[in-house]
Structure 1
Amino acid sequence: MSDGFTEMLDRAQRFYGQLRANNTKDWFEPRKADWKADIEAPAKLFAEIMAEEISRLTTAPHTPKLFRIHRDVRFSKDKSPYKDHLAMLWSSGDADDLAPSFYFGIEPDRCFIGCGTPGFDKEALTRYRAMVDRWGDRLAEIMDDSGGHLAAIGPEPLKRVPKPYDADHPHADLLKRKSLALGMDLAPGWRETGEGLVAAVTDRIEVLLPFRTFLADRL
């Protein structure tokens, strides 16, 4: 039986598709109340329900975050005031173990799940590279088995392998990265199951769980 959130997803995709073509305050303000009631409110509830599911699957408490619709345009050439997608994040809140977060994004023409860290700071980057050097074979195997793709988030990778690692290191591409995340679409045919969006997202979370567990245990 559907959980009702599929309708929220459909409304969100229609709304953000229209917003993408009319990204102005004059267009958004008359529709703000409907957006808050029909999209933002159920999305917050969905994020809270998924936080419980993710906490159960990972055995670690996760906190939900629904990203605001307003863009920070202070340092951007693009002055469009609103984001043309809906995004939410679930994190364990433990910065020390560098456990990656889960992400769900709804765009006008697609929706997808992500798992990873959008950027390592200096000390975390050192830990990440040491992990790749020691456990790179296993990490690459887990990533391949997931069927996910490397997500294009965070800082641009380095052009050269950082010292003290060899330029021909077997996992040179991973060593060059300053962030690490996997992404994937919802499973094909998820709507036809009739089980709803919570089940569809949980299914992808379970697929990405070995990746999350591996990084949480070794970073």
Structure 2
Amino acid sequence: MSFAGFPVAALDFYDDLEVENTRAFWEQHRTTYEESVRAPMTELCAELADEFGAAKIFRPYRDVRFAKDKTPYKTHQGAFVAAGPSCGWYVQVGAPGVRVGAGFYHAEPGDLARIRDAVDLDHSGRELERLLAGLEADGFERAGDRLKTTPRGWSKDHPRIDLLRHRSLSMGRSYGFEPVIHSPDLVARVRADWRRLRPLVDWVVPRLEQLA
């Protein structure tokens, strides 16, 4: 089947799940999840696969083994298309609506050192600055895990110290409850934003792949 949009029932499902995150609720509403959340997400990703590749549709269950929060289910459904190690494009639906993004969510110590070396170099570091500034001007928001202190071995006066603090880095935007999320036009919207984010992915991937 082709993607027709996420039904309102998908957002309502997550609204209710945030209030009653229990196995009993899940079992009572499993059909809603399968038909209104997982099936449309699978269809959306299938229509984007020709250009970006196959997506991983994440499982709805949380890993609570070491978490203080023992609620069993995620309050959003995400999908990820890998372009390299721990790097690629992302889309999710939840109670706040639909959100898209791209970047890297994890880097092993050697990979992170390689990324920081690239940030340090004037050519590649300034290139990344320009990429991020252009994306922010287009309405994307920067996210990622960042050190509050200066990374070991780097000067706090480095001209790109803010970027050097990143241990992960992504750019994304929320469509919220815009009518497009309930229509087939969402495919074109996500495709356009993932294309706009491709330069960031292309900047990151070579630094991660060298140690993969």
Indicate the TM-score class for this superposition, using the shorter chain for normalisation. Answer: 0.7 to 0.9
> Which of 135, 141, 146 pairs up with 2:130?
141
Match of 2:21?
Answer: 23
Q: Is the 8 A contact 1:50 1:198 kept in 2?
A: yes
Aligned pair count reads 201
Match of 1:159, as an amino acid?
A: T
Report the alpha carbon displacement of residue 37 of structure 1 after superposing the two structures with TM: 2.6
In the TM superposition, structure 1's runs of 4+ consecutive aligned residues that sit over 4 Å from their partners are 187-190
Structure 1 segments unaligned to the other structure (5+ residues): 55-61
Q: Is the 8 A contact 1:158 1:177 kept in 2?
A: no
Match of 1:121?
Answer: 108
CA distance, structure 2, for counterparts of residue 215 and residue 187 of structure 1: 27
Structure 1's 129 and 116: CA in aligned 2 closer, same or farther, altered over 3 A? Answer: same
Q: Deviations over 1:78-137 (max 9, x none)?
A: 111111111110013x43xx7x31011212123211111111101101110111001221
Partner of 2:100, secondary structure, is strand
Report the alpha carbon displacement of residue 159 of structure 1 after superposing the two structures with TM: 1.0
CA distance, structure 1, for counterparts of residue 165 and residue 128 of structure 2: 15
Match of 1:205?
Answer: 194
Q: Deviations over 1:186-205 (max 9, x none)?
A: 4996729x661111111211
Partner of 1:210, secondary structure, is helix
The share of aligned pairs that are identical, in percent, is 27
Structure 2 segments unaligned to the other structure (5+ residues): none
Structure 1's 39 and 76: CA in aligned 2 closer, same or farther, altered over 3 A? Answer: same
Match of 1:13, as an amino acid?
A: L
Match of 1:10, as an amino acid?
A: V
Structure 1's 195 and 29: CA in aligned 2 closer, same or farther, altered over 3 A? Answer: closer
Match of 1:157?
Answer: 147
* Matched ranges for 1:1-219 at <5 A: 4-6=3-5, 8-54=6-52, 62-92=53-83, 94-95=84-85, 100-134=87-121, 135-147=124-136, 148-152=140-144, 155-163=145-153, 165-186=154-175, 191=180, 196-217=185-206
The alignment's TM-score, normalised by the length of structure 2, stands at 0.84
Report the alpha carbon displacement of residue 217 of structure 1 after superposing the two structures with TM: 4.6
Q: CA RMSD in A?
A: 2.4
Report the alpha carbon displacement of residue 167 of structure 1 after superposing the two structures with TM: 2.1
